[in-house]
Each structure stands twice: as structure tokens, then as C-alpha cells.
Amino acid sequence: MNKKIKLKNYTPILIIFLLISIFINIYSYLNINKYKYKLGKESQINIEDIRQRNESNMNILNVSIGQGCIKNEDLLKLYKNYDIITSEIIELWGQYASYKDNTLSIFSKNIDDKKVLENDVYLRIKDYLSIILNQTMKSKDIGLTLSSGYLENFETMSELTKKVNSYFEEFNSQKLLNVTGEQREKEIIKNHYWIDMLEGIYNINNDYTNIEFNVDESKNVNNIEIMNEKK
């Protein structure tokens, strides 16, 4: 009899603890979801900016390869684009790490990211373009003639931009067909498509892990005259 009385005395306390526990779990769940939505929104912005800058690079490279030379202003645009893309890729990997930390492994999207550092082709391209820009500025040339060594590297860069552009187009046609504007943004965030896109870029870049972008040390003769002819 005494045991039943004691149990009854503790029952309200147990109920209170249970309710508090439920409240804390609900609050934590809502906070995590809110954080993951904010994370997805930031990641979606980075992905979209990468897509647009990659398309811009593709157009510049196509024209430059066709003309056999590239003006300093276009070299600078390429450099700035690759510099920002490099930073945004780093941000995306950080956002992906935060996503994994806040998602149960059985429900999370996973990327086999063992070669992230070796895979950083955009950083190598950025450094390569930085050297070229310094060279053309010191020589006071108005641009760069794409002689054999440079042309090969620019064609590799062009090939990479085309593969990434094709990937985005294919992804959009399969997952986001006829979805535009705010609805498109919501779909990417809700379905964590930004992770799929990051993985797609990563897989393409894997093909360029061992490719070096070496500067052609041979002197570009008559750069100014050639560039003036292209005007």
C-alpha cells in the first residue's frame, strides 16, 4: 500500500520530466531544421553563382581559343571568376560538413570526399592565371597570344567548363524541369540538391586531378601587334 502511495506521489514529477523532454526534443528538431534550411539557402546561392561564373568562363575561353589570343581584361575576368569559384567550393565543403554533423547518417546524403585537396583544380587554374596576368602586366602587352603551351592549357580549361555546364543542364532537365525562380530555390533546398550538384562538380574535377597548368616560359613575340589585329 505504501509503495503504491509513493508511486502516485512521483507520477506527476515523471510526467513533468517527460513533457520537458518532449518539448526539448521538439525545440531542438525545429532549430536543426531551421539551421539546415539556412545552410541550404546559402549553399544554393553558392551553387548558382558557380554555375553562372562557369558559363561566363566558358564563353570567354571559347572566344579566346577561336581568336588565338586573349585580352588582359578577359584574363582578369577569368582570374576573378576562378578566384571566387575556388572560395565558394571551399565554403560548400564546409557547409556539407555542417549538414552531416546535423543529420543522422542513415538519412543524410553522402559524398565520397577522400580526395578533396588533390581535387582542387580551380585553385590550380587560379594560380596559373595569376602568373600569366603578372607576366602580361610586366611586359606591358595588351594581352596574351595563345601559343602551343598556353593553347593546350586553355583548351583543358575550356573542356572543364563545358563538362560542368553540361552537367548543370542535364541535372536541371532531370530534376528541375520547368521549375524557376523562388520555387526552384525551394526545391534545391528541400531536396538537398546542392549536395548532388557539389558531388557532380567534384566527380568532374576528379578527371583533372593530375593535370598541371604550367606556364609557357617562351617569349610571346609580337603580342601587341597580334592583339591589335584582333580588334
pLDDT at 132 (0 to 100): 92
Distances (CA, A) of 103 to 22, 63, 106, 182, 227: 19, 45, 8, 25, 54
Amino acid at residue number 100: K
pLDDT tens-digit map of 81-131: 999 999 999 999 999 988 888 776 656 788 876 656 556 899 999 999 999
Alpha carbon of residue 129 to chain centroid: 19
Give the three cell numbers for residue 203.
566527380
* DSSP SS3 for 143: strand
Bridge partners (DSSP) of residue 145 are 69
Domain boundary assignment for the chain: 1-30, 43-230
Helices 72-101 + 121-139 axis angle, to 10: 160
pLDDT tens-digit map of 211-225: 888 886 554 434 434
With 0-12 / 13-18 / 19 or more C-beta atoms within 10 angstroms meaning exposed / middle / buried, residue 184 is middle
CA-to-CA distance for 116 and 46, rounded, in angstroms? 17
Comparing 109 with 159, the larger pLDDT belongs to: 159
> pTM of the prediction?
0.81
pLDDT tens-digit map of 169-194: 999 999 998 888 889 888 998 899 99
